[in-house]
Amino acid sequence: MSTITAITPTPRHPGRFEILVEGKTYATLSLDAIERLQLAVGRSVVGLEEHLAAESAQIKVYDRALNMLAFRARASSELARSLVRKGEMKEHVDRAIARLQEQGLLDDAAFAQSFTRSKVLGAGQSRRRVQQDLARKGVARDVSDAAIDTVFEEEGVDQGAVVEEAARKKLRSLAKLDPAVRRRRLYAFLARRGYDSSDIRSAMDAVGEELKGGEEELRGIRD
């Protein structure tokens, strides 16, 4: 016997239903899949085995992707790579990604703008560093460039002011170092954030008095 004996909601996963065959869980599906396959209590699942297995696997990957997005925003390619690394079939992953995009739950342009705001305004990173990070996450270059341009325009970002502020913040933790070491570490810190040498030199010139202040503080400690 291969008869559906119950279709019950899954308490821990709203919108999902367990299909019980002869009293045992056979598959977990969405209401859409149940209606599409015309499943009902009393119906045999003979001939539907492959369809039920595929639908159940697909909804599992979709729900897993949704949970990952709830934990942290991601780019489409980044999410797809993560799911495949976790052992999900690429076919199911591709379908889940496409569905999330259609629903507006996965949007690389929106992600790139949010990421740019966080890294530029919050972490003081450069345009080039943000471009590199977005590329590693699989965001297309035209999408990342458009997002960065939008954020810089909307937020009135002044690249020179950003690197100078980053330099001032970093100097607070370097004040007790030898002058030469302090300058090397400050330069390396700013370089890691993707600023080019001209921006770094301008910023270090702008904080020159604070560099001297650090030297004076160091001399006072030694005396």
CB atoms under 10 Å from CB of 131, counted, come to 20
Q: Which phi and psi (to 5°) does residue 133 adopt? A: -65, -40
Share above pLDDT 70 across residues of the chain, in percent, rounded to a whole number: 93
Q: Among 41-45, 73-77, 79-83, 163-167, which stretch is predicted with the lowest mean pLDDT? A: 163-167
- Domains in the chain: boundaries: 4-102, 108-154, 159-222
Given the candidates 1.10.10.10, 1.10.1060.10, 3.40.50.720, 3.30.360.10, the CATH classification of the domain at 4-102 is 1.10.10.10
What mean pLDDT is predicted for residues 162-175? 85
Handedness of CA 81, 84, 89, 93 (dihedral sign): negative
Q: Are 60 and 27 in contact (CB under 8 A)?
A: no
Sheet holding 16-21, edge to edge: 4-9, 16-21, 24-30
> What residues are paired with 17 via a beta bridge?
9, 29
Helix, strand or coil, per DSSP, at residue 89? coil
| Strands, E assignment, the chain | 4-9, 16-21, 24-30
pLDDT at 76: 96
Task: Report residue 30's pLDDT band, with 50, 70 and 90 as the boundaries.
Answer: very high
What mean pLDDT is predicted for residues 70-95? 95
Which segments of 122-158 does DSSP mark as H helices, in order?
A: 127-136, 141-154
What mean pLDDT is predicted for residues 94-109? 95
What mean pLDDT is predicted for residues 143-168? 89
pTM of the model: 0.75
Find the Cα–Cα–Cα–Cα dihedral 100, 106, 109, 115, rounded to 10°.
Answer: -170
Task: Report residue 214's pLDDT band, with 50, 70 and 90 as the boundaries.
Answer: very low
Vertex 160, ends 156 and 161: CA angle to 5°? Answer: 65
Residue 8: what residue type?
Answer: T
What mean pLDDT is predicted for residues 3-27? 92
Q: Among 27-31, 77-81, 131-135, 157-161, which stretch is predicted with the lowest mean pLDDT? A: 157-161
User: Is residue 213 over pLDDT 70?
Assistant: no
